[in-house]
Structure 1
Amino acid sequence: MPTFHYTGRDRSGAKVTGTLEHTSADAAASDLLARQITPLTIDVLAERVQVDVMALAREKLRRKRVDLDELIIFCRQMFSLSKAGVPIIRAIGGLAESHRNLFFREVLQAVRADLESGQSMAVALYAHPKVFNSLFVSMVSVGENTGQLDQAFKQLSTYLELERETRKRIKQATRYPIFVMVAMGVALAVINLFVIPAFSKVFAQFHAQLPWATRVLIGTSDFFRDWWWLLGIGLAGGLYGFFRWIETEPGALRWDRIKLRLPIVGPIFERIALARFTRTFAMMYRAGVPLLQTLSINSASVGNRYIGQAILGMREGIERGEALTRTASASGLFTPLVLQMMAVGEETGALDDLFVEVADFYEQEVDYDLKQLADAIEPILIVAMGVMVLVLALGVFLPMWELASAARGGA
């Protein structure tokens, strides 16, 4: 039952205020008149909301993102429903009600509400950039304008599946090196904090001159043991500063350029970005997206801002009236073989087909590079582990051998 706050005047004309509970404002006014109080204002008070701590915690911990697999399934379902002739609003509503991801369900419900208010599908999706990027929205817009929305969702599902496969191959190729490096880091920490201090106590009892390797190990161990908190603060501060730096536009551009110059993995990053660019270009060009708009969208979807700037440079060249192949050559991103394939596509009018071939070419190179990545990193890891074992052997066992020899000589 709602609570009402009232002001009024009693029989003597004095102002009175108070609260009372009733089913409605009219019932509250009747009650006041029965008490010989003339009501002036009657306002309903907001009901007290009991805070559910568990519900609040669940809301804070709830996943507020959409995985790539969920987007792929969404595109497949939209393709099937659109092809079957199901109205878009009904399709979106049905998917929203049946989705397990509560965040995605809320997004789809908001999209449905926007569609019911008369907005287009592309505009409704554009309101949720964290879920649907510019490429996604542009493809849906082209599908709406050409009456082929089902084909747009089919192409998007194919593109997202290729993206998922690329990420999976990268994870598989880097899993072993990362595991080895983490194991080496843990081993170094244990040795510096526990093993070497125990040995240093034994060496100190003999008051002997220790080899330089042993002194270096003991000094390093003492530094880690005494100043571990400072190292932790420095590491945390460095990581925080680094991530804040790459969130800025100049920092992100600089970091993406550095990634392309990294040994072993730099060329792989470049080929992945170029494969993504050529595949997306072919898909959008084939769907009828204007060339300048295609390049603008691709510059933001390749995953590397430095390469994205080069693609924007290509766009500016085309705006000046230059041919696509010439602007691609001036960007310095593509090999002569790829430029020849672009030139043939531009001359024959089959630019989308040739870009698909270029994308296949890059993806084959990426696949080969990822398969060879573990083989390329393994020798480096073996050498690093060998150096670590050598230093430990010289620092720990060499003085023990010298002390044992001295003890035998003295005997």
Structure 2
Amino acid sequence: MPAYSYQALDAKGKKVKGVIEGDSERQVRGLLRGRDLKPLDVKTVKAKAAAQGSSQGPFTLGGPRMNTRELSLFTRQLASLVLSGLPLDEVLAAAAKQTRKPVVKSIILQVRSRVVEGLSLAQAMAELPKVFDNLYRAMIKAGESSGYLGPVLEQLAEYTERSQETSHKIKSAMIYPIVMVCVSVIIVSILMVKVVPQLVGMFESNSRELPGITAFLIGLSDFLVAYGVFVLMAFTALIAVLQWLLKDPKRKRVWHKMQLKLPLFGGFILQSETARYSSTLGLLAQSGVPLLEALKIASQVLNNLTLKEASVQVAVMVQEGASLSKALDQVDVFPPLLVQMAASGEANGKLSEQLLYAARNQERELEFSVNAAMSLMEPAMILFMAGMVGFIVMAILLPIFEMNDLAGI
């Protein structure tokens, strides 16, 4: 039974939206009238998504999507319901009833309608690649092929929840320094543009030579008042130009290679990417996906081009007969821990477990590194802000103190 997205007017003339299942558009309109709704627009969910994608032109978002939290919750619900023994179409119908978000509900019902038509769950999800990525679909396919869809969904739910938790921790840790930087810039800008110019007249009435830091502060204030808007425009233009330049694959490749060599941040990037790569690889291998296919899928979750190209080389070498640990060692990009864990897993026949262990280890190291960096950055930001404000206050007070000294003589 296909899912339809509708817009209708209720008894008070208020426009309402929703998703409903029906055999045909005519039946759906009848169901809506039975609910005292006047249907305005009724379309199949799939047709509506296609219409939205075509109408948005070059700025299309590719149809409906789920965020990480919604996908994690849906996967957990799916795993619980499948393990309870319900048929797949009833599982999807129950998951659709449990969500209150129309977008999520339309996605689930679209998948259900295709499953009812005879497609497998992986095939139905393949029609929504922006929602269910290659990793997700590959694990679902492996679970359906092996007959262990429920356990595979549990593993997938744990993976999405862990990814969401790691991402949330990193974003939360970055909030404080970002807020401190913004507050510092705003306070210093207000002092430079509003406060300092009001004191210039008092200083200029005095024939004595101003202290060096005061003269520098006044000159900087005059510059910001006269050209501050242009500086902001130039900074914005510079960012736009850099983004345009990085669209070129060669420049982007050079920049991504430089990222890995940056002090502190290079380590963060390597740990984050390695954790995602080894976790994906281990999860796919544990779900029964062949190693070569798992390597090709895992390379797609990497964002850094240097690491992505290295992962592609690893897949090629494994295809040519090399072991995974030897291939990882030869590309000389990934951390030694991952190479050692892969070698240990190949030796004892527990490759997937060792890869997942390496992923968890990298995630812990990343969390510790981020927490340590933030614990150092917080007092550093406070000292920087205090130093900037102190410099401005000192530059203002020095000539006042000199004027008071002269008055006291």
TM-score of the superposed pair, with normalisation by structure 2: 0.78
1:325 aligns with 2:325: yes
Q: How far 1:157 moved relative to its partner?
A: 0.5
Aligned equivalents of 1:274, 1:117: Cα separation in 2 = 40
Aligned to 2:28: none
Aligned to 1:9: none
Aligned equivalents of 1:77, 1:242: Cα separation in 2 = 43
Give the 3-state SS of the residue equivalent to 2:333 in structure 1. Answer: coil
Aligned equivalents of 1:251, 1:86: Cα separation in 2 = 52
Aligned equivalents of 2:126, 2:248: Cα separation in 1 = 23
Aligned to 1:363: 363
Please tell me whether the aligned partners of residues 338 and 355 of structure 2 are also in contact (alpha carbons under 8 angstroms). no
1:282 aligns with 2:282: yes
Aligned to 1:126: 126
Question: Within 5 Å, which residues of 2 pair with 1:325-404?
Answer: 325-404=325-404
1:136 aligns with 2:103: no
Aligned equivalents of 1:129, 1:143: Cα separation in 2 = 18
Larger Rg: 1
Q: How far 1:290 moved relative to its partner?
A: 1.3
Q: How far 1:244 moved relative to its partner?
A: 4.7
1:364-399, CA deviations, whole angstroms, 9 ceiling, x for partnerless residues? Answer: 212221221222323532452354145324422222
Aligned equivalents of 2:114, 2:384: Cα separation in 1 = 58
Q: Which amino acid aligns with 2:277?
A: F
Give the 3-state SS of the residue equivalent to 1:322 in structure 2. Answer: coil
1:287-325, CA deviations, whole angstroms, 9 ceiling, x for partnerless residues? Answer: 111112111111111343332222112112212222211
CA RMSD of aligned residues (A): 2.6
Please tell me whether the aligned partners of residues 299 and 305 of structure 1 are also in contact (alpha carbons under 8 angstroms). no
Q: Which amino acid aligns with 1:107?
A: I
Q: Matched residues, percent identical?
A: 27
Aligned equivalents of 1:110, 1:384: Cα separation in 2 = 54
Aligned to 1:222: 222
Aligned to 1:164: 164
Aligned to 1:111: 111
Aligned to 2:44: none
1:232 aligns with 2:232: yes
Please tell me whether the aligned partners of residues 328 and 339 of structure 1 are also in contact (alpha carbons under 8 angstroms). yes
Aligned equivalents of 1:157, 1:314: Cα separation in 2 = 28
Aligned to 2:212: 212
Q: Relative to 1, partners in 2 of residues 1:373 and 1:284: Cα closer, same or farther, differing over 3 Å?
A: same
Aligned equivalents of 2:363, 2:103: Cα separation in 1 = 33
Aligned equivalents of 2:156, 2:244: Cα separation in 1 = 32
Count of residue pairs brought into register by the alignment:
351
Question: Within 5 Å, which residues of 2 pair with 1:53-72?
Answer: 65-72=65-72
Q: How far 1:97 moved relative to its partner?
A: 4.1
Give the 3-state SS of the residue equivalent to 2:341 in structure 1. Answer: helix
Q: Which amino acid aligns with 1:88?
A: L
Aligned equivalents of 1:407, 1:259: Cα separation in 2 = 58
Please tell me whether the aligned partners of residues 264 and 376 of structure 1 are also in contact (alpha carbons under 8 angstroms). no
1:118-151, CA deviations, whole angstroms, 9 ceiling, x for partnerless residues? Answer: 3222122122222111111111111111112112
With 155-164 and 298-307 compared, the bigger mean Cα shift is at 298-307
Aligned equivalents of 1:255, 1:104: Cα separation in 2 = 37
1:269-291, CA deviations, whole angstroms, 9 ceiling, x for partnerless residues? Answer: 21122112112211111111111
Please tell me whether the aligned partners of residues 278 and 356 of structure 1 are also in contact (alpha carbons under 8 angstroms). yes
Aligned to 1:43: none
Aligned equivalents of 2:64, 2:202: Cα separation in 1 = 55
Aligned to 1:264: 264
TM-score of the superposed pair, with normalisation by structure 1: 0.77
Please tell me whether the aligned partners of residues 279 and 355 of structure 1 are also in contact (alpha carbons under 8 angstroms). yes
Please tell me whether the aligned partners of residues 338 and 358 of structure 2 are also in contact (alpha carbons under 8 angstroms). yes
Aligned equivalents of 2:254, 2:65: Cα separation in 1 = 27
Aligned equivalents of 1:262, 1:376: Cα separation in 2 = 18
Aligned equivalents of 2:121, 2:292: Cα separation in 1 = 22
Please tell me whether the aligned partners of residues 192 and 224 of structure 1 are also in contact (alpha carbons under 8 angstroms). yes
Give the 3-state SS of the residue equivalent to 1:210 in structure 2. Answer: coil
Question: Within 5 Å, which residues of 2 pair with 1:23-38?
Answer: none
Q: Relative to 1, partners in 2 of residues 1:269 and 1:101: Cα closer, same or farther, differing over 3 Å?
A: same
Extract unaligned runs of 5+ from structure 1: 1-48, 51-59
1:247-288, CA deviations, whole angstroms, 9 ceiling, x for partnerless residues? Answer: 665565455444433332331221122112112211111111
